[in-house]
């Protein structure tokens, strides 16, 4: 179980770094080719495929110098897992709680889904 947790932590950190810096290679390594992103922010519903999410992060990296992201939970059950990440200062002002689903597919752990909750906006 320790090796699985290390690999899941590595993948989630690829997401954090990739989304923060707009690094497509890190995001593509972490996520399964059919991964999806869901959530609502500012009254807009988001339902993105992998390409849409990677393009968004490359075009608008999340870390403008204020991003703090922390893995708060990892749960593993055989070949499935979940991970929770708290982000503050995304795009400079937004806070999110991210819920990731992971599976062992094609012989390795991969993130298959990210669902986010927009938990706040910093006041200017």
Structural domains in the chain plus CATH codes: 2-121 (3.10.450.50)
**Cβ(105)–Cβ(112) below 8 Å:** yes
pLDDT for residue 122 = 63
Of all residues in the chain, the percent with pLDDT exceeding 70 is 97
Yes or no: say if 14 and 26 are a contact pair by the CB < 8 Å rule: yes
- State percent of the chain over pLDDT 90: 94
pTM check: above 0.85? yes
Residue 9 has pLDDT above 70, yes or no: yes
Residue 123 has pLDDT above 60, yes or no: no
pLDDT tens figures, 41-88 = 989 999 999 999 999 999 999 998 999 999 999 999 999 999 999 999
Say yes or no to pLDDT of 124 above 90.
Answer: no
Q: What is the pLDDT of residue 121?
A: 85
Give the ranges where the chain is alpha helix by DSSP (H).
Answer: 2-21, 24-30, 50-59
- Tell me, what's the pLDDT at 97? 98
Q: Are strands 31-41 and 94-105 parallel, antiparallel or unpaired?
A: unpaired
């Amino acid at each position: 179980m320790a090796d699985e947790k290390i690999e899941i932590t590595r993948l989630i950190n690829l997401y954090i770094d990739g989304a923060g810096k707009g690094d497509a290679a890190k995001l593509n390594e972490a996520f399964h080719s059919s991964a999806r992103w869901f959530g609502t922010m500012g009254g807009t519903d988001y339902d993105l495929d992998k390409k849409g999410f990677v393009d968004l992060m490359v075009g608008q990296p999340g870390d403008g110098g204020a991003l703090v992201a922390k893995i708060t939970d990892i749960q593993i059950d055989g070949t499935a897992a979940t991970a929770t990440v708290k982000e503050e200062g995304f795009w400079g002002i937004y806070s999110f709680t991210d819920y990731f689903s992971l599976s062992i597919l094609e012989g390795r752990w991969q993130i298959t889904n990210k669902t986010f909750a927009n938990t706040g906006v910093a006041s200017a």
